[in-house]
């Protein structure tokens, strides 16, 4: 289990260590950055309810509410520092069946970040578009959405945090869900993977 980012941040503050730098990303059109707070969860639920009522589909709200609540619970467990998704006013045509979550990765005791990243590479991870600042680790799992079979493609992007002496990494976790009937080389899926690879590659650190 990794150390708690909040606990580690508090300890660094007590020791007088500088805060981690912030970061920016170029996002898909219509997407925005949010935190994982209860207030954000409530705001997104309210926006989803309005959208479905306007579309005359109130029957879908219960399912969407459950999925959103589960998503926020998972983000709180992983202590997400940010997540990225369509804005509340984004047109339906710009919605993507994907999520991107940012968290802080701290290696297990006795393992350096370089060792962890090297082990991921041995298991099949690669650099991101040739940029060796990042490793890109992709996996696919079978899932169920209600009674329907689905496939979940997960891509983990890891890059060391500047100033951390290779002790911590920013982890961006992309999750794309599709119906089980769509193959692994489905053009829409491949297009989304290319889109998010390009977005993550634009990461810039700021103070």
Q: Which helix (H) or strand (E) is 35 found in, with range? A: none
What's the mean per-residue pLDDT of the chain? 84
Query: What is the domain-level CATH number for residue 198?
Result: 2.60.120
Domain match, 136 and 100 both: yes
Q: How many CB atoms within 10 Å of residue 54?
A: 8
Domain match, 20 and 120 both: yes
Domain match, 166 and 107 both: yes
pLDDT-based confidence at residue 1 (cuts at 50, 70, 90)? very low
Whole-number percent of the chain with pLDDT over 90: 44
Domain match, 105 and 156 both: yes
C-alpha 122/C-alpha 10 separation (Å) is 34
Q: Could you tell me the residue range of the domain that residue 197 belongs to? A: 5-33+84-206
- Given 53, 79, 105, which residue is the final one in a domain? 79
pLDDT-based confidence at residue 2 (cuts at 50, 70, 90)? very low
Q: How many CB atoms within 10 Å of residue 20?
A: 20
**pLDDT for the residue numbered 17:** 62
pLDDT in tens, 162-174: 988 888 999 999 9
Higher pLDDT, 127 or 1: 127
Domain match, 41 and 129 both: no
In the predicted structure, residue 197 carries a pLDDT above the cut 60: yes
Number of domains observed in the structure of the chain: 2
Domain match, 66 and 147 both: no
Q: Against a cut of 0.75, is the pTM above it?
A: yes
Domain match, 107 and 178 both: yes
**pLDDT for the residue numbered 122:** 95
**pLDDT for the residue numbered 7:** 45
Domain match, 75 and 128 both: no
Domain match, 56 and 93 both: no
Domain match, 73 and 92 both: no
Domain match, 168 and 70 both: no
C-alpha 137/C-alpha 172 separation (Å) is 11
Whole-number percent of the chain with pLDDT over 70: 88
pLDDT in tens, 97-115: 888 999 999 988 888 999 9
Domain match, 108 and 58 both: no
């Amino acid at each position: 289990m990794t150390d708690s980012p909040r606990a580690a941040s508090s300890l660094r503050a007590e020791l007088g260590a500088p805060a981690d730098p912030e970061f920016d990303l170029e996002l898909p059109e219509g997407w925005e950055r949010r935190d994982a707070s209860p207030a954000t969860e409530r705001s997104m639920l309210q926006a989803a309810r309005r959208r479905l009522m306007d579309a005359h589909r109130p029957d879908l709200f219960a399912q969407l509410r459950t999925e959103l609540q589960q998503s926020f619970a998972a983000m709180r467990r992983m202590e997400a520092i940010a997540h990225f998704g369509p804005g509340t006013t984004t047109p339906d045509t710009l919605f993507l069946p994907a999520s991107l979550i940012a968290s802080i990765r701290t290696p297990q005791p006795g393992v350096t970040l370089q060792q962890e990243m090297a082990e991921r590479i041995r298991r099949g991870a690669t650099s991101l578009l040739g940029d060796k600042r990042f490793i890109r680790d992709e996996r696919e799992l079978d899932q169920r959405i209600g009674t329907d079979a689905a496939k979940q493609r997960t891509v983990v992007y890891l890059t060391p945090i500047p100033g951390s002496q290779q002790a911590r990494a920013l982890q961006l976790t992309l999750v794309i869900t599709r119906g089980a009937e769509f193959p692994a080389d489905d053009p829409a899926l491949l297009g989304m993977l290319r889109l998010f690879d390009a977005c993550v590659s634009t990461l810039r650190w700021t103070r």
